Structure 1
C-alpha cells in the first residue's frame, strides 16, 4: 500500500491533523494512527498489523494501491495551493438562478452582522502631508497604452509633487466621490473583489519636490500622505526587493499591500487569497497607465522579501501583507540594465 500524495500533516493547537488538499478534508490523528502511518512509510520499520487503523486509512484514501503522485508544472507547494483554493466558492454552481441569488444574500446577511474592520485614518499618524488637488487628465487611451514600457535603469530626477498627487489620486483615490449605492465602500479606478478595496499603497519617497525621504501610507479620504518611517534608502529598497537593483535612483516607489482583515470579513473561503493578487494586478496596471500620463517611467516586480517590507512599512504580516511593488521616475527605455548588459557581453565573449 502507498501513502497518498494528496495529504500533508500539520499541527493545530498542538494536535496532529492530516489534511487532504484535493478534497479539502481534515482528519484528527491519534497517536496509534500516526504510528501506523509511519510504519507504512519508507522508514524501514516493521509494518503494523492493526487492521482497523489500516482500514480507516484506506476508507479515507490515505492508504491506496495507486501511485497518485502528480508532476506539477510549478513547484509542489504551488500545486498544493492551487488545489486547496480550487472549487471553493461561497455559492453552489448547480443551483437555479433564484437559489444562487438567495445563497449570496444569505452570505451578505451573515457579513452584515459583523462590524467592518477599522481601516487606517490620518489621526493614526503624527506627520501628515496634504497633497495638492489632482489635475484633470485628458489623454488618448490607445496612445497611453502604446507609451507604457517597463524600464530597468532610472536616472536621478526630482519629480513634482503634483505628479505624485495625480498618480495616487487616479490610481488609489476616490475618483467617483460619494455614491449612495456603495455607502462606505468607496469605489476607485480599478475593480475590487466585493468592492472591499483591500489594496493599500505604501509610498517610498526618494526624490519628490516638497516631500522628505521616507515611507508614507496614502490615505484616500483626505488625499494625504501619512509618515510611517523617517528614512528609507536605496539600499533599504534593495534589501526589500531580494537584492534587485533596478529600482535604484527611482523618484518614488509604491508597495502594494493587501488588507486581509477586510477581505476575510466578507469572504471566508481559501479562494479569497487568489483575489488578493488579481486585485493588485488591476491596480498596478492602472498605476502604470497613469504614470505615462505624468511622463513617468515604471518598473514592476513581485519578487521581494516580505519580512523586510513588513518591518520597514510597519505591517504585521497577518492582517496586512505586501503583494507587489512599482518604481516610478525617469529612465532609459532599454530592455536591460547596463550592469546586466555588461555581464551579458562578458558571457558572449567567453
Structure 2
C-alpha cells in the first residue's frame, strides 16, 4: 500500500525530497519509476499493468541454485514450507443432487493424447529430428492456409492469417524463439521461427548452462529443444487501449504453449514448461528487434525414454 501511495504522489508531481527513500528505490528497481525517460519506449496501457509486468520480471533469488542438486533441495524445502500451512478449503465437492452426465465412450485418439500429455523433468541426451521440430513449430505457431480470411470476410492482409490456437483480436501477437541444443540437421543455437515462411533464422549461440536462464532449474541443462514465447505488446496496444488486454497476451501464450505440448505428445515426446525465467538474461540472446516485444514463457520437448509419471 505504501508503494501505491508513493506512486500516486509522484504521478501528481509531489516529488520525494529524500534521495535515499526505500520505497522510491523499489519502484526504480522495478523500472516503474525512472530517473529519465531517455531510451525508454512508451507503455501502451495504464501504469497498473506496467507495475505488474516489470515488477514480476526476473525472479530474484537470494541463492539461485547452481546445480540440479541445489535446485531439488531448495524446491523440496519450499514444498515443505507450503505443506506446513493449512491448504485452501475445497468447495462444491461431493454435493448430492447433481445432474448425472452420460458416461464416456471408449477412448478415442484425442483422449489418448490428453492422457499421455504430462510434464516431465528428466531430459535425455537423445536428438530430435529437424522434421519433428518443424512439425511441432508449424502446429504451435505456423499459419493454417485454409483458415486465412479473404477480403470479402473482412480480412486485413496483415492480419488475415490464422493459427491453430486462438489469438487475441486475430493479431498473432505471440512470437517464438527456438532453443536448439540437440536437433539433427541444426547447429546448436537460438533461432527465430518465421511463421510466414516456415523458416528458422539464427539469433545467437546456446548458453553453456540453460538453468542459469531459468532461475536455477539446472535439470533442464540437457534439454534438446525448447521454445521461448514472446508477446508483441505493440500489436495489442494498437487495437486494445485498456490494460485488460495484458491478460489476453498471457492467455494467448498459454494457448500456444498447450498446442506445442499436444503436438509434441502426438509425436511421441514428453514435454516440460516453465514461467520461471530470467528475462533480462534471455532477451539479449533472442536479439529482439522491437522494444515492445517481451519474453513471457518457455515450452520444451524431449524424446520419451521412460514411462511417464504425471507431475502437472
Flag whether TM exceeds 0.5 (same fold).
Answer: yes
2:259 is matched with 286
2:242 is matched with 269
1:187 is matched with 162
2:103 is matched with none
Higher strand share: 1
Q: Please tell me whether Structure 1 or Structure 2 has the larger radius of gyration of its CA atoms.
A: 1
- Measured against aligned partners, the alpha-carbon deviations of 1:249-285 in whole angstroms (never above 9, x if no partner) come to 2221000011111111111222121111111111111
Cα separation, 1, equivalents of 2:52 and 2:214: 23
Q: Say if 1:161 and 1:209, in contact at 8 Å, map to a contact too.
A: yes
1:154 aligns with 2:126: no
Cα separation, 1, equivalents of 2:14 and 2:197: 55
Q: Note the aligned Cα RMSD (angstroms).
A: 2.8
Report 1 or 2 for greater relative contact order, CA contacts < 8 Å, sequence distance ≥ 6: 2
1:29 is matched with 13
Q: Secondary structure at the match of 2:264?
A: helix
Cα separation, 2, equivalents of 1:7 and 1:242: 28
Cα separation, 2, equivalents of 1:156 and 1:312: 23
Total equivalences in the alignment: 219
Q: Say if 2:181 and 2:224, in contact at 8 Å, map to a contact too.
A: yes
Structure 1 spans left out of the alignment, 5+ residues: 18-27, 39-76, 83-138, 337-350
- Among 178, 188, 195, the residue aligned to 1:203: 178
Q: Say if 2:212 and 2:218, in contact at 8 Å, map to a contact too.
A: no
- Among 213, 217, 222, the residue aligned to 2:192: 217
Cα separation, 2, equivalents of 1:242 and 1:5: 29
Cα separation, 1, equivalents of 2:175 and 2:129: 22
Q: Say if 2:177 and 2:191, in contact at 8 Å, map to a contact too.
A: yes
Cα separation, 2, equivalents of 1:158 and 1:7: 50
Normalising by structure 2, we get a TM-score of: 0.64
- Among 9, 25, 41, the residue aligned to 2:6: 9
Normalising by structure 1, we get a TM-score of: 0.57
Q: Say if 2:174 and 2:230, in contact at 8 Å, map to a contact too.
A: yes
Give 1:316 deviation, angstroms.
6.4
Q: Say if 1:204 and 1:214, in contact at 8 Å, map to a contact too.
A: yes
- Measured against aligned partners, the alpha-carbon deviations of 1:128-168 in whole angstroms (never above 9, x if no partner) come to xxxxxxxxxxx921111111011101110111111001001
Cα separation, 2, equivalents of 1:196 and 1:265: 10
